Structure 1
Amino acid sequence: MYLHTELLINDIAVSEPDPAAANALQEGLGGQFGEMRTMMQYLFQSMNFRGDPSSKPYKDLLQSVGTEEISHVELIGTTISKLLDGSPGYKGKPTDPVDEPGAKGATPLSIALDHSNIHHYLVGAQGALPVDAAGNPWSGSYVYNSGNLVLDLLYNLMLESTGRLQKCRIYQMTDNPTARSTIAYLIVRDQAHENAFAKALESLGVNWGSVLPIPKTNAEQFPEVKKLLDKGLQSIQFTFNADNQSQAAKLYRGASPSNDGTELSTAVMPDGVPITISPERREEFSPGLDPELLALIQATAEVEIANIEATDTTASKK
């Protein structure tokens, strides 16, 4: 059972729209090593977990990381939407009719023909899509769940390492502050998850360091990343366990496998930042509802609510 707290797990810097950066970020969302993959892989491994009660810390660790990945999907998807929102190719005023050219003769969605993924405008109304940077749909075949704990943990460590490597490359592709704020956060959290799976393997007697060394990305050279590393964000794992029954802390403790001099620890969840609703995109007809249509929708909703209440009243009398 999940609870949704209406907070983003990290703040998204405010900057100019950048559809090309948005498309690069799609790899980190719907690519083979993206956030949708990690979310689904760890949750399936947790749901399918088998073992005696002594193995619960491993299930709880998978559950904790998988739950955090849900928030990462929310974060990176929202970032993509913000990078697309009000794309710079459209300079018309919000009150301009959407079927007239914008300023300097530019049509409202002309940017879609020259930059980024045209499906962001044709299908997503300037929002994120469950695809990679080449537009390929996310596939459930990415998910690895062998049922063997050591194999799953090794695969998870490889997944986080590759994901962090790719995000470092995406960081190098754009200087947009909105994109970089989210990329930097995910780079650091990927390292935290590498630590989680490395520690779990060590507890099982696996010398993972000689088999699968974590790639040295030198991500601390990125200012946004270093700021988070200095706070120790790479060495804490959130459990998102409302009743505080998680046993993940039995594994996520001790010296960090990253050999950065930090100690691992757990917490229920981060503070988070407020979520804001994006404005209408009239050039996308999203929502694009005129007052008459809004009034009709409201009237219809009121009739439906009245019918439901009448049905409930009748049922209670019986």
Structure 2
Amino acid sequence: MFIHTRKLQYNAKPDRPDPIMARKLQEALGGQWGEITGMLSYLTQGWGSSGSEKYKDLLLDTGTEEIGHVEMISTMIAYLLEGAPTSITEEEAKKDPALAAVLGGMDPEHAIVHGLTAGLTNPNGVSWNAGYATSSGNLVADMRFNVVRESQARTQVSRLYHMTEDKGVQDMLKFLLARETQHQLQFMKAQEELEEKYGVVVPGNMKDIEHQEFSHTIMSFSDGQGSRAFEGQIAKDGEKFTYQEHPEAMGEVPVFKHTHPNLHNDQG
């Protein structure tokens, strides 16, 4: 059950409208690593978790917080679009270079599709899709994904921070940076605990099945040999890395039966 309060988790109001910045913020909302991805990944992971209540609650706490972040960025985008041009003719744009610049950098979908509000897209109008989110049922794998997602999100928010001088926008981004710091750290801690219990390789119960003679060998498939530096070092599972300078082709040459003539493959 979710209960909504009209107050935002943190302030999300710019000093002045800026439709170009509104477009840029769409990445933090509907991009691959945006808040929608975090929200739905963490909630789905939490809903599906049947193990420790500790990790289930952590995921649901964070996923629910991300709903608030979606709300904050959507609100900020709407404020940034207040007063944005919706009906500029070509002649008007020619007379006013500043107006033309705004029109040139603005996302037309903000006006045409969303009525000067946020959309569930990235800055280029590409719709968010569920393929961005991850919920595998394996908590070690999911926690690792969560660390990556928070790392990518924080990197992009950092870049957005340097793309504006608006103190209101910067203030909201500073808050998001801090929360993404917390989320990275908490998911790293959860990952470490789960690795201690289940092992560092996911899944941890297939070691006796795999061909172990290939499991700790760095194979050189490029001209450089920089990766040789790992040779002899100890992996996180306690085993040593080996290095193979000239990987072999160990498989057979594939030979297929001719396909049915009705397929007209004409393979010779």
Aligned-pair distance for 1:27? 0.2
1:158 maps to 148
Correspondence for 1:179 among 169, 176, 199 = 169
Q: What TM-score, normalized to structure 2?
A: 0.66
Q: Which amino acid aligns with 2:133?
A: V
Correspondence for 2:62 among 41, 61, 65 = 65
1:46–1:63: 8 Å Cα contact kept in structure 2?
Answer: yes
Q: For each residue in 1:235-287, what CA deviation from the matched residue of structure 2 results, as whole angstroms up to 9, or x when unmatched?
A: xxxxxxxxxxxxxxxxxxxxxxxxxxxxxxxxxxxxxxxxxxxxxxxxxxxxx
Q: Where does 1:138-217 land on structure 2 (aligned, <5 Å)?
A: 138-205=128-195
* Aligned mates of 2:5, 2:13 — CA distance in 1: 20
* Aligned mates of 2:38, 2:128 — CA distance in 1: 12
Correspondence for 1:117 among 101, 107, 110 = 107
2:13–2:79: 8 Å Cα contact kept in structure 1?
Answer: no
Aligned-pair distance for 1:198? 1.2
Q: For each residue in 1:108-156, what CA deviation from the matched residue of structure 2 results, as whole angstroms up to 9, or x when unmatched?
A: x977632221111111111100001121000011111111010000110
Aligned-pair distance for 1:32? 0.3
1:79–1:178: 8 Å Cα contact kept in structure 2?
Answer: no
2:31–2:128: 8 Å Cα contact kept in structure 1?
Answer: yes
Q: Which amino acid aligns with 1:151?
A: A
* Aligned mates of 1:21, 1:112 — CA distance in 2: 10
1:10–1:185: 8 Å Cα contact kept in structure 2?
Answer: yes
Q: Where does 1:1-318 land on structure 2 (aligned, <5 Å)?
A: 1-51=1-51, 55-87=52-84, 113-205=103-195
2:45–2:137: 8 Å Cα contact kept in structure 1?
Answer: yes
Unaligned 5+ segments in structure 1 are: 91-97, 212-318
Unaligned 5+ segments in structure 2 are: 202-268
Change beyond 3 A, Cα 1:191–1:152: same
Q: Which amino acid aligns with 1:157?
A: V
Aligned-pair distance for 1:162? 0.8
Q: What TM-score, normalized to structure 1?
A: 0.56
Change beyond 3 A, Cα 1:22–1:151: same
Which protein has greater RCO, CA pairs closer than 8 Å, 6+ apart? 1
1:288 maps to none
Farther off after superposition, 180-189 or 149-158: 180-189
* Aligned mates of 1:78, 1:152 — CA distance in 2: 29
1:58–1:200: 8 Å Cα contact kept in structure 2?
Answer: yes
Q: Which amino acid aligns with 1:71?
A: G
Share of identical aligned residues, percent?
Answer: 38
* Aligned mates of 1:178, 1:36 — CA distance in 2: 22
Q: Which amino acid aligns with 1:72?
A: H
* Aligned mates of 2:107, 2:101 — CA distance in 1: 10
* Aligned mates of 1:118, 1:152 — CA distance in 2: 36
Farther off after superposition, 71-80 or 173-182: 173-182
Superposition RMSD in Å: 2.8
Change beyond 3 A, Cα 1:41–1:48: same
Q: For each residue in 1:161-185, what CA deviation from the matched residue of structure 2 results, as whole angstroms up to 9, or x when unmatched?
A: 1100111011111112232122211
* Aligned mates of 2:117, 2:102 — CA distance in 1: 13
Aligned-pair distance for 1:11? 1.2
Aligned residues: 195
Change beyond 3 A, Cα 1:57–1:85: same
Q: Which amino acid aligns with 1:18?
A: D
Larger C-alpha radius of gyration, 1 or 2?
A: 2
Q: For each residue in 1:44-93, what CA deviation from the matched residue of structure 2 results, as whole angstroms up to 9, or x when unmatched?
A: 11111122xxx111000000000000000000000011011113x58xxx
